[in-house]
Structure 1
Amino acid sequence: MSNNPTVTLYPLINYTFGTKEAQPEEDPSVAARLARLQNDYEVTGMRRTVEGVLVVHEHNHPHVLMLQIANSFFKLPGDYLKPGEDEIEGLEARLDERLLPVVTYNSNAPKEEWQIGECLSVWWRPNFETFMYPYIPAHVTKPKEQKKIFLVHLPEKKVLSVPKNMKLLAVPLFELYDNSQRYGPQLSAIPHLLSRFNFIYEK
């Protein structure tokens, strides 16, 4: 009998996708992003980033929901935390901002909750460079960024809204696996991270 944790996946067609106002990236280039990271580090220390892995299924194969920016760059929904911000609350807020429809505030309407699950991996940026590692290199005493990737358990149905300047794609695990050339080491590692789960494919 397997002791692997069980995760229920629902079909992609259960989810409704809309659009909302564009959310331009804060940094126009990788160099600008690293420069801002360095400026922020000097003020507040190590950056903490949180991202979510949202999994659906199509034809009984897991697919991960990813944002595509400028038709080339893929990323998980999430962003960096404010100094002192709780990582789970922070991830919920970033998911709201990226993926929930804009609704007129109604104090009677229940807030849609995200079910944040297990931490799947932790990545470290040792320097003000693009490289991140799933460990802190031995010679590094002050990493510049820590990124935690969490599994997010989706309900049976949900309405998601994506900024107009982005696309939300369902990328199958077989496409991600061993494909760091296209998706980078963090995203291509997701099939490994999910391999310990038993998936139940609901109809």
Structure 2
Amino acid sequence: MTTTANWTKNTTNYKYNASNVLNLTVNRTINLYPLSNYTFGTKDPLFEKDPSVEARFQRLRDEFEKIGQRRSVEGVLLVHEHNLPHVLLLQLGTAFFKLPGGELNPGEDEIDGLKRHLTETLGRHDNVSHDWDIEDTIGNWWRPNFEPPQYPYVPPHITKPKEHKRLFLVQLPEKAYFAVPKNYKLVAAPLFELYDNSQGYGPIISSLPQALSRFNFIYMESCNTNNNNNNNTENQNSSNNTNNTNNKS
């Protein structure tokens, strides 16, 4: 017997297209660039909407009564150190970590909303545009009640989840400048630190190693390495030219 739950009037129905599955899942290659390729600065603090956990869930309750299920998005930004993927996380205080992202406005497209949040959180403060490359969905999480717990599935007794959070992989360019709000730190956490560490990072972030294991990562060289190689080549060519000139003399 199959049952269909009517979660909420604002839930989007997605159509399954079998013809696209192979292209999306087989040999997905993602380029990862060294952390040293990126430049980090600071900008004005970015504060949470709610002063406390209680206020956050009260606002969620109020919004649910008016517009239904909340939709939120988060971006997974990857770099590598010593050929090991690292996830860029925002650190607030000493023990709170989160992915960049946030709530969507009513009717807002998920990709557009994620780009907006990434720009607000890590974009330059001089209004220089940043074209974020959103690659693929890597996870879906639901909040059944007006409480902290979230799950990668909808519990069978829940007909109206209070929040749906979608995680996207973001392909970073070879080089970029990130402006980090002054009240946050941007840290690069290795996958082995996140794996099975829900106590330190929560269930969503600690599940990223499993979610990312389906991708084929290509570890690109540092820009500095390429520049050094180019300089060495130029120096070698210059030396050869000098030797040729001396021989002719």
Gaps of 5+ in 1: none
* Matched letter for residue 52 of structure 1: G
Q: Report 1:40-119 matches (<5 A).
A: 40-104=63-127, 111-119=129-137
* Matched letter for residue 32 of structure 2: L
Offset, 1:28: 2.1
* Matched letter for residue 13 of structure 1: S
Percent of aligned pairs sharing the same letter: 59
- Helix, strand or coil at the partner of 2:161: coil
CA offset digits 1:127-157 (Å, max 9, x no partner):
0010001011101111100000000000000
1:32 aligns with 2:50: no
TM-score by length of 1: 0.94
Rounded to whole Å, the distance in 2 between the matches of 1:40 and 1:70 is 28
Rounded to whole Å, the distance in 2 between the matches of 1:128 and 1:150 is 24
Offset, 1:42: 1.2
Count of equivalent residues: 197
CA offset digits 1:3-55 (Å, max 9, x no partner):
33111000000000000000111122222211111111111111000000000
Larger Rg: 2
1:198 aligns with 2:221: no
Q: Report 1:103-182 matches (<5 A).
A: 103-104=126-127, 111-182=129-200
Runs of 4+ in structure 1 over 3 Å off:
none
- Helix, strand or coil at the partner of 1:32: helix
TM-score by length of 2: 0.77
* Matched letter for residue 37 of structure 1: L
Gaps of 5+ in 2: 1-24, 222-249
- Cα root mean square deviation, aligned: 1.2
